Amino acid sequence: MVVLEEKEANDTFRFPYLVTANHVADAINGAPFKIRGNNKSGQAVEISANESGDLKWYRHSKGKGIDVAVCQFGLPFPDFDALAINASIFVPRDVTQLKIGVGDEVLITGLFSKIKGKSRNIPIVRIGNLAMAPSEPVVPTRLGNIEAYVIEAKSLGGISGSPVFIRQTVDIHGGFKWGTNQPAIHQAYTDTLYLLGLAHGHWRIDPEELDSPDVKHDPEGINIGLAIVVPAVHILEVINNEELTIMRRKVKDEDASKEHQSTMDSAAKPTFSKEDFEQSLKKVSRKIEPKKK
């Protein structure tokens, strides 16, 4: 889950969205689905979603070549132990702004379907490195050539749509080359993580084709150890599409209007309509009140 924060005067609004790979959303095909997680006591719980069948997934304007799907979503009860990824930690298009790049450590978090746990969810974390950061659609997939990161890590079936983080590396000056008095710059990992993107998939190839210069995906082949990651900027581009932007604007305008109106104790509360997507957005979007001085 991703949260987009927007400031309006002295208020901060938080808009939550459920994010996954578009091919995962397509597989659901408008049907009801469940979200499995842990509650705060550590027990696994399932949340039913889209039981009415009217949930709307938003895709990228460039089509299925960008494997991202977003929908408005709010957790129905506070006991669900989940953290949302703030859009402020998304890796921008120019990764050098954050002093991260090829070679830096990446982490894929998700659920290993073979060992997912019975009484509680047991997540898995796979660690690797950023291997390639192309700035054009050259990465071959079943969707055609796409713009994506390539990481050196073995992805898993069923992990598509999972978040992929990258750890920032820093330069440490004032050191020396081992055994000498020659100045050297050392590098170290920090505890600062950014969202690189979401897991798209990986390549499997015929073992007999390991030395071939062409990468031809073979569903029955072996995992070559390289995974494909859809850039986080594409998630933000979907969230910032015209329709969702207008919906957020209406929520903020309605909130501002209410602050200028008095409310009678006996006033009837407005009826909540599942069919009204804007009202649904308003229901799950939360305003953060400024701290009183």
Q: 2-245, which class in CATH?
A: mainly beta
Which residues are within 8 A (CB) of 112 and not within 5 positions of it... i.e. 6 or more apart?
122, 124, 156, 158, 159
* Secondary structure (H, E, C), 192-229: EEEEEEEEEEEEEECHHHCCCCCCCCCCCCEEEEEEEE
The model's pLDDT over 136-152, given as tens digits with 9 standing for 90+, comes to: 877 777 777 888 899 98
> What pLDDT does 267 receive?
40
User: Which residue ranges make up each domain of the chain?
Assistant: 2-245
Q: Is there a contact between 159 and 199 (Cβ–Cβ < 8 Å)? A: yes
Exposed/middle/buried for residue 190 (C-beta within 10 Å: 0-12, 13-18, 19+): exposed
> What pLDDT does 268 receive?
40
> What pLDDT does 166 receive?
95
> What pLDDT does 203 receive?
65
| Residue matched to tokens 């070679």 | 103
> What pLDDT does 201 receive?
79
> What pLDDT does 289 receive?
54
> What pLDDT does 205 receive?
58
* Alpha-carbon gap, residue 200 to 68, rounded angstroms: 9
Please identify every stretch of the chain with a pLDDT value under 50, giving residue numbers as ranges.
218, 220, 263-285
> What pLDDT does 275 receive?
44
Q: Is there a contact between 252 and 6 (Cβ–Cβ < 8 Å)? A: yes
> What pLDDT does 224 receive?
62
